[in-house]
Structures are given as structure tokens and as C-alpha cells.
Amino acid sequence: MDATGDVRMRFDHVSIAVKSIDRAYEFFAKYFPVALRNARSIDEQVSGSFYWQDFHLGGFVVELIEDPPGKPGFVTKFIDKHGEGMHHLSIETDNLDAMAARLKAGGVRVVDEQKYDSGAATAFISPRSAFGALIQLWHTPNWEQVHPKPAPDGLAYFDHVSIAVKDIDAAYNFFTRYFPGTKITHQPHLSNSQGNFALGHLEVAGFKLEFIQSPPHKTDNDFVGKFIARYGEGMHHVSIDLKDFDATRERLKRDGVRVVDEKRNWRGERQYFISPQSAFGVLIQIWEGLQ
């Protein structure tokens, strides 16, 4: 086991930077079976004050963040540069000091460290060190007393977050080195018979991360390469299995939400994507599932 093997970790949420929490929450609540976890609140961190609200979706938690009206801060700065969209991933740990020390010793850039009177603490792994993904590490005191997230309700299952990278092997090495208990659940491989991208899966802190990369040979449909050329490495999409696959798709289309890339994979499984233009900068992959 890694030298930081005594550190316990669990994935908590993906955070989305938006211009309006109310509008974004209304969208997710309209089309997905969500349950509010925390109502809109204001928080203060090293990077500044911001509003946040989070909710359960398919056994996972999604957080929405927004700057206070008239007080542009780090959320506005992010949106001005990247547009609305996925901002960071948050992982809870019971030993942030050991985790941060291990990262720093390896030359990983750790920023925005902060401690709270409650005993909680936070730090972020810079996207410069983590393949374009900003990763929040949240120290949780009284680890055993924290209530676990509810299990999926049978209506939706939040399967994974996908990260576009230049080198999957390098990403695997990073996460298996610094995140205790990381498991390789799917070795890197070409996606399908067309082979227009490569992918692999890791279980990190109990949650599936997918890594996608351009194929080793040039193709006309290298969407990963195009994404990285435009935005750099980073979070590409989220994937949700949905029981009401057809009904939700028809409601989305009826309401003018942009639905793209409807198809079956080589196994016959159906999917479609909700365009980031309609979903606050987030590309959402919907799989037919939970039958």
C-alpha cells in the first residue's frame, strides 16, 4: 500500500460554476430525480466569498457555486475564462496533513490551504498538477459521525466524471501514487471498432473517474484532441444512467434543450448527450440503464 495508506478518503461532489444557482438547480430538478442536500448558503474561503447549494443525484452529490451579486470573485473569473461548467472535484479525507505533505514532497502544487475553528480544513491540488482538474481535499473531523450519501434510488445512477488527458498512463500513475486505495478497474483501451479515442477507468476514493485520450493513430473524429486544443486537459463530461431514458429525451427536446449524438454503442446500449450549451456548460452523457 502507498505510504499514505493510513489516509482514508471518499469522493463527495463535483462542483459546477454557474451564473445563477436558482436557474441551474431548476434545470437539474426538472429533468432528473434530485434531492436537495443543502440549501443555498454563503461561504468564505481563501479564494473569496461565494454562494453554494448542493443536491443528491443518482447516489452522488452535485454542487452549484455562484458569486454574490455585484461582487465578482473566483467563480466569475472562472466563468469569464472558461464559461460556465465543471469547476472542481471534492474529496473528503481524515488526514489532510499527511495527504498534503505527500503531494508537496512529490512536487505537486497545493494551493488555497485553509483551516477552520471546527477542525475542518481544506486544500486544493492545482489543475496544473492534476491534468487540468482542480481537486479539493476536505479534511473531515469526526470521520465516523458523518452520514453517508444515500444510495441510488433506482431512477438514476451517477456513473462517472470523464477527464480528457494527453496521456492516460501518466494520469493513472498520478492518481495511483497519491490517492490511497485507487484501483484500476479498466485498463486503457480503444473505445470501439472505430477506435476514435482511448479510455480507461480508475476507482478513486470510491468513485469512478474515466480518462479519455486521442487514439494512437490519426482519425477524422478526434474529439478528445479537439477538446484539449481548445480548452486544455480537464473535465470533459459526466455520465448518468437513467431509467426514464426515452421520456426524458422527449421532454428535453420538447423544451428546446439541445440533445446530440444519439446512438447505440457496439454492445447495443443506447445513449445521448445533453449539450453544454443547454446545461450550464456541462456535457451530460445519458445512458439507457436501470431497467
pLDDT band of 3, cuts 50, 70, 90: very low
Fold: same for 9-144 and 156-288? yes
Q: What is the pLDDT of residues 30-45, one digit of tens each?
A: 999 999 999 999 988 8
What is 156-288's CATH number?
3.10.180.10
Mean pLDDT value of segment 245-269: 92
Look up the CATH superfamily of 9-144: 2,3-Dihydroxybiphenyl 1,2-Dioxygenase, domain 1 (3.10.180.10)
Domain ranges of the chain: 9-144, 156-288
Could you give the residue ranges of the DSSP H alpha helices within the chain?
A: 21-31, 74-82, 96-105, 168-178, 223-231, 245-254
| 163 neighbors 234 (Cβ within 8 angstroms) | yes
Which residues lie below 8 Å from residue 211, measured CB to CB, with a gap of 6+? 131, 162, 163, 164, 165, 168, 171, 172, 188, 199, 200, 201, 202
| 159 neighbors 240 (Cβ within 8 angstroms) | yes
Torsion 138-48-108-12 (CA) sign:
positive
Helix, strand, coil fractions of the chain, as percent rounded to 5? 20, 40, 35
Q: What CA–CA distances, in Å, run from 231 to 73, 194, 285?
A: 21, 25, 19
Please state, in angstroms and rounded to a whole number, the distance separating the CA atoms of residues 214 and 224: 5
Going by the DSSP 8-state scheme, the letter that residue 178 receives in this structure is: H
Q: What is the pLDDT of residues 159-217, one digit of tens each?
A: 999 999 999 999 999 999 999 999 999 999 888 656 689 999 999 999 999 999 998 88
